[in-house]
Amino acid sequence: GESVGLHLPTLSVQEGDNSIINCAYSNSASDYFIWYKQESGKGPQFIIDIRSNMDKRQGQRVTVLLNKTVKHLSLQIAATQPGDSAVYFCAENPNTGNQFYFGTGTSLTVIP
């Protein structure tokens, strides 16, 4: 399944399928990006980060892709599990300070 983040804030996938969550960021000067996972009633949990000198970074079952030309970030989750159900936020650091700018978020629901 695939989402366009801001325009389709919910995504439902079957357990075992791959998920793709997209994010359009706003500041071309941003040089550091993080994907966070937020479960209900909890704070954001770090998943993976990427710096602007890279276009791809892989973690355990997750991959982040960065396209600076179109200011687009995506999170791919392989073999999605029920425990992956959460809201996913991309966050950018525009290098003007230490604050992060968060996207609206995409709610991922995994169907067993």
Partner 1 sequence: NAGVMQNPRHLVRRRGQEARLRCSPVKGHSHVYWYRQLPEEGLKFMVYLQKENIIDESGMPKERFSAEFPKEGPSILRIQQVVRGDSAAYFCASSPSAGNQPQHFGDGTRLSIL
**Residue from 12, 24, 31, 71 binding partner 1 (CB under 8 A):** 31
**Closest CB 105 distance from partner 1, rounded Å:** 5
Q: Which is nearer to partner 1, 97 or 112 (CB)?
A: 97
What is the DSSP track for 3-60? E-TTS--EEEEETTS-EEEEEE---TT--EEEEEEE-TTS--EEEEEEETT-SEEE-S
- Restricted to residues 33-72, the positions that interact with partner 1 (CB under 8 A) are 34, 36, 41-46, 49, 51
CA angle in degrees (0–180, nearest 5) for 8-85-92:
60
List residues near partner 1 by CB under 8 A.
9, 31-32, 34, 36, 41-46, 49, 51, 89, 91, 93, 95, 97-105
